Amino acid sequence: MDKTPVYQLPFDYAQAHDECAQYNASLDANIACKEAIETAIGRYYGHNRLGAVPAVRDVVKQFGYERTLYVLANTVQRLEHDGRISRKNKEWAWKTPFGADPKCAYFIITNCHPGLLNIFLDTARHEYLLSQPIKRADIKAEASHILEQFQEAVEPNSPNGTHFMARVSPDFWARAKQKDRDRLMNMLPFASLSLSTLEGYKGIYALISKDEDRSKPLILRKPSVRKKLREAAEPSKASGPSKNREPER
């Protein structure tokens, strides 16, 4: 991987602070990354379909997420009025400041269709998200999402009608380690709670008995400083769902 640091300040600043060498090295890497994105999109596009995941991983393997997303943000800002770029990607891109640096024009992605570029960016942002560790706020948000699903169900909705079920967000499950899944379980106030696959359904589901009181609030505890220090020192362990049960049939 190209280890050149991403220089995010304009050339005028670099010149005034005797950092032209760092600026130019980053600019060269940005241009190379731009060309790699164009090459990857061309390589993985065929039969009216873009193999976005391998295309993104090819580029990230060479340049890392920071530079790849930096180059993509620079390009999307220049496509502000192009309807083939989604609004959410435009809003995301404008969070990265480029100022009036004219040399940013050197790494605008031009040799690919904007619609394919939008798909590539969607995938790059998603892949980056999956690479990030789970935070307590993410666990709370997922627990709230599951509780809302339980509360919205009018009657038991599991295949055999004995449980309430709620799908765990696939992105959360992909990112979460065992300790994150345990914390999720501990936030949900149900004694019969389990996480399971279900025959005929995709993904992981939270299940509770139909007799549970679904009006209960989440169980929120302030993490102790000692516990946080201990967990930071422990190696991460990835494994399957806690409190596993056999799939319902």
Please report the DSSP string for 131-194 in residue order.
Answer: TSPP-HHHHHHHHHHHHHHHHH-SS--STTSSEEEEEPPHHHHHH--HHHHHHHHHHS--TT-E
* Cα 38 from Cα 123, distance rounded (Å): 15
Residue 228 pLDDT: 61
Residue 143 CB neighbour total at 10 angstroms: 22
DSSP string spanning 200-214?
T--S-EEEEETTS-T
Residue 246 pLDDT: 41
Contacts of 30 by beta carbon, 8 Å cutoff, 6+ apart: 6, 67, 70, 71, 74, 106, 107
Cα–Cα distance measured from residue 79 to residue 108, given in angstroms and rounded to the nearest whole number: 10
Per-domain boundaries in the chain: 11-130, 136-233
The whole-number pLDDT of residue 225 equals 61
How many Cα atoms occupy the beta-carbon half-sphere of 113 within 13 Å?
A: 9
The pLDDT, as a whole number, for residue 227 is 60
Question: SS3 of 8, please?
Answer: coil
- Amino acid identity, residue 222? K
User: CA 131, CA 224: separation in Å to the nearest integer?
Assistant: 26
Distance, in Å, from the CA atom of 21 to the CA atom of 19, rounded to the nearest integer, reads 5
0.85 exceeded by pTM: no
What is the mean pLDDT for each group of 10 consecutive residues in the chain (249 residues)? 94 96 97 98 96 98 98 96 96 92 95 97 96 95 97 95 96 94 96 95 96 95 66 54 43
Segment 147-190, tens digit of pLDDT: 999 999 999 999 999 999 999 999 999 999 999 999 999 999 99
